[in-house]
């Protein structure tokens, strides 16, 4: 059973005033073609570009010292300053050894990594991301 949605649908959008639900195990997500991948060159501080709403970022495998924090500029023309970027450590590197954050801006974001361990790590992380479009009014 799918609850009725009160609103209007067009070829490119859906405006709903009721709940939007999924059926069974189908879930809610992005269509094929919405995602992309990028591999960061040189260092974890190197800027990179991937203008997609979802996908994966592979960081450089350079050293990140114990307790060190590094940031990189991510050019992404689909991100707005009001958006929320959800990230997760997909593979590569030591699970649980890093804190990963993204701060959204207009047309770009800042990806920040912190090494939470007592030793230097030289690992390429694969980070999955999804952009949730936001609004403040």
pLDDT at 22: 76
Specify the pTM.
Answer: 0.86
Integer Cα distance of 36 and 57 in angstroms: 9
pLDDT at 4: 55
Q: Which residues of 53-88 are buried (b: 16+ CB within 10 A; e: fewer)?
A: bbbbbbbbbbebeeeeebebebebeebeeebebeee
Q: How would you write the pLDDT of the chain (137 residues) with one tens digit per residue?
A: 455 556 666 667 777 777 777 777 777 888 889 999 999 999 999 999 999 999 999 999 999 999 999 999 999 999 999 999 999 999 999 999 999 999 999 999 999 999 999 999 999 999 999 999 998 88
């Amino acid at each position: 059973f799918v609850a009725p949605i009160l609103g209007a649908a067009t070829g490119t959008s859906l405006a709903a005033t009721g709940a939007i639900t999924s059926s069974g195990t189908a879930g809610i997500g992005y269509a094929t073609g919405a995602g992309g991948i990028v591999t960061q060159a040189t260092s974890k501080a190197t800027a990179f570009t991937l203008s997609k709403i979802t996908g994966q970022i592979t960081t450089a495998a350079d050293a990140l010292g114990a307790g060190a924090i590094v940031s990189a500029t991510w050019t992404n023309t689909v991100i707005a300053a009001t958006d929320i970027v959800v990230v997760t450590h997909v593979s590569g590197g030591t699970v649980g050894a890093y804190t990963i954050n993204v701060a959204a801006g207009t047309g770009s974001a800042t990806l920040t990594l912190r090494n939470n361990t007592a030793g230097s790590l030289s690992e390429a992380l694969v980070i999955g991301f999804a952009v949730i479009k936001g609004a403040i009014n």
